[in-house]
Structure 1
Amino acid sequence: MKSIKHCLILICFISSKIFAFSQEPKGDVYFSKKMYSNAIKYYEKALKKDKTNAELMYKIGMSYYHIANYDKAYEYLDKAYHLNHSPTNTDALFCYGNVLKIKEKYEEALKVFYQLIEKNPNNTLIKNTLKICSEIRNILTKPKEYEVQPIDAINTEKTEFVGGLIPNGSNDYQLLVVKEIKVPEMFDEIKSSYDNSYFYDVYGYNLKDASLKKFSFRLNEDYSYDGPVAVSPDGKEIIFTRTSYNPVKNINTAKLYIADFTKGKIKNIRPFDYNSDDYNTAHACYSPDGNILFFVSDMPGGFGQTDIWMCKRESGSWSIPKNLGGDVNTSGKEMFPFMRK
């Protein structure tokens, strides 16, 4: 009887390990496609059967990091780091350092970045991140020059971010805000596989009377992620990001769209000349004279995951995009360019 009991225990143990091993590769596939919320589901299933697997914890933490859930990212990455200071994937350690920085644990973050520099002495991204972390720590020792306060009329438990600033009459401006839409439970299956969110629309927040309403029905399309928005310096043109489902690749693809903007009305929406189903174009901004367009893309020829590119306005159209080069772009993600006089 004892031998039978031991055999059953061994079979259960082996079965649980096989289950864990079968779930992790599925998570890896979704992670490689940047479908992080799906990856998390499989990684967490695997972790339930292998609760001390630090590499799995790193993968879960990285997934949460990429969808900006930094509390959950910290929970898993911190636990993983204390189990194993040297993960197989150094990106996991970089994510952990960044999460510590976001959580304002600057001394701990610097230790992690110095650890990374020892192994990657020529990595520009790590060097720059370490420098920024050190500068933030030093700045916080000085007296505050500004007080940052939340805007209650805009902020909710869901995601919001600024989408641009636009004139709204004489001496008045409207802040364009990108907000996650609340939808009925019947639409639960259309949640984003990237970050488990629904869709985004652009709202206008009036700085004078603190009112908030949808910016334009022509800009906010059903079943897409709309925003942010950039307005040309002369106020006659806008360019905005729209992210929609790409059935060919089974992922969401971001593309830029340009429109005429007259007296608060959006007309003649047309795609940016350099959109593609093979890569993303997003988050554009104009130069102060309106003749140069900067935007983010992961198109071929870049330095990292996403780079900042530029086009010049020539005879009413935009020139072939040019990468801003290694002085600006790194092996990481450059995002949300902004330019002012």
Structure 2
Amino acid sequence: MIHATRLSALALASCLMAAPALAQSVNLYTTREPALLNPVLESFTKDTGIKVNAVFLKDGLQERVAAEGANSPADVMLMVDVGQINALADAGVTQPIKSAMVEKTIPAALRGPGDSWVTLTQRARIVIVSKERVKQDAITYEDLADPKWKGRFCIRAGQHPYNNAFFAAYLARNGAEKTETYLKALKANVARKPGGGDREVARDILSGQCDIALINTYYIGLMSQAKNEQKGWFDAIKPLKTTFANGGTHVNVSAAAIAKNAPNRDSAVKLIEYMLGEKAQTLYADGNFEFPVNPDVKESAAVKLLGTLTPDTTPLGDVAKNRKAAADLVDKVGFDN
């Protein structure tokens, strides 16, 4: 059993700071949902004998580690967004992950600058269309700006982190001028004001309000297993193979870093390496229909439902650095107005 809950996070952190480090333990701070992580953490403890003390935080992880300073008990920090994990590195609260296994398994584009963090799983942002009204099977992100989609395109708010990361990736690839033009074209094509959630764009395709939309892949997986009206939303849509022109598919990630003052560094490396192994990748990725990053894991739930993923090669560190500029462009064109 993993020894943490959201309610006891502060008390646990205090206890960890007061107690001496144990050779066979590792302290994890994370913004990930407990239900997604616990099966992997329990498997890690069973297979290695290393106890995991997990602190699940809704927000404020970076601020907590910084406030704890040199006495922080944090060994591993696990985040659910490339901007969040890169912010930890920028804040100087991480250290390089020195692991031959990580270097061999994970391409440089999915690791932070100076190996300050490493991707654990990926979720793609792809295009879905009406199964009845749109017949094509593939599309580029650039094609969404085509005027033929005028009044037919749905998207959640441009300032939402999912879209902010996508627009930052577009900006990293194409520069500010082309990105501004792209945002204006997308805005001109919307069927309704940007907003709602990713599952709601599938709902709106079913209702006929729009024919094409952007969505994170794990929502497609979750809707496919729904026992309510969302199963009908899933049945109405068709995922398209979606890439940048002359590139791959945009992904966001869950990622891990080792804390600068980790008291159990060796155990921290072992936990990260374990989470990148085939057993843990299957458990972790299948828990939320995310794509594994270990290339030896071929038959994840996401792959079975959506096919193989070819991530774009734009370094995720570059995407993270462009997020503020992308947000400024979204405001400049009045995307969410």
- Please say whether Structure 1 and Structure 2 have the same fold, judged by a TM-score greater than 0.5: no
Provide TM-score, normalisation by structure 2.
Answer: 0.32
* Bigger RCO (CA 8 Å, 6+ sep): 2
Provide TM-score, normalisation by structure 1.
Answer: 0.31
Q: Which has the larger radius of gyration?
A: 1
Q: Between Structure 1 and Structure 2, which shows a larger proportion of helix residues?
A: 2
